[in-house]
């Protein structure tokens, strides 16, 4: 599969601010579908005003398999998506301080820490640093893009985003 067109579409969409993900992990660029909720990928600086109505957002915009986990040391939203290549990813989005982080729960990806993941299992949602994102919406949207990018890496390509 040639990833250059995908990279160009994503690059152009990121520059124009028109990229979003659907409830089941679909990636949309350009005109967004009117018949379903989408989570827009916000670019550039972001605000960290605290959590919005995360339960309402998760129920209306995240995969139908999303569950709230509240156990000692773990409090956040667990969800699974399937990429266009058919690989399933289970992710866990949580609020850490004022930022949202996302950890990869499955599949286990040994050897990908550094450019794509932190040693503790959190995925890299931004270039540089280890800060999180300002909203659950942005964390979910970028985690879907990350999973699609990781699938490209696992197929022997460079990370397209």
pLDDT in tens, 13-24: 555 557 788 888
For residue 146, give the nearest of 129, 122, 111, 130 by alpha carbon: 122
pTM of the model: 0.71
Cα–Cα nearest to 49, from 129, 130, 137, 123: 137
- Cα(20)–Cα(9) distance, rounded to whole angstroms? 12
Starting at the earlier edge strand, list the strands of the sheet with 99-106.
67-71, 74-82, 88-96, 99-106
Cβ proximity of 51 and 95 under 8 Å: yes
Q: Which residue has the higher pLDDT, 26 or 100?
A: 100
130: pLDDT strictly greater than 60: yes
């Amino acid at each position: 599969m040639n990833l250059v067109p995908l990279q160009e579409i994503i690059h152009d969409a990121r520059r124009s601010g028109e990229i979003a993900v659907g409830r089941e992990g679909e990636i949309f660029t350009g005109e967004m579908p009117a018949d379903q909720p989408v989570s827009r990928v916000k670019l550039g600086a972001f605000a960290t005003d605290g959590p919005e109505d995360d339960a309402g957002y998760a129920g209306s915009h995240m995969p139908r398999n999303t569950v709230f986990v509240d156990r000692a040391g773990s409090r956040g939203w667990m969800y699974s998506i399937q990429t266009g290549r058919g690989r399933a990813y289970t992710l866990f989005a949580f609020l850490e301080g004022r930022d949202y982080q996302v950890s990869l729960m499955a599949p286990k990806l040994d050897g990908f820490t550094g450019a794509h993941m932190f040693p503790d299992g959190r995925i890299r949602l931004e270039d540089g640093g280890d800060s999180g994102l300002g909203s659950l919406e942005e964390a979910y949207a970028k985690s879907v893009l990350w999973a699609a990018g990781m699938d490209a890496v696992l197929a022997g390509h460079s990370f397209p985003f």
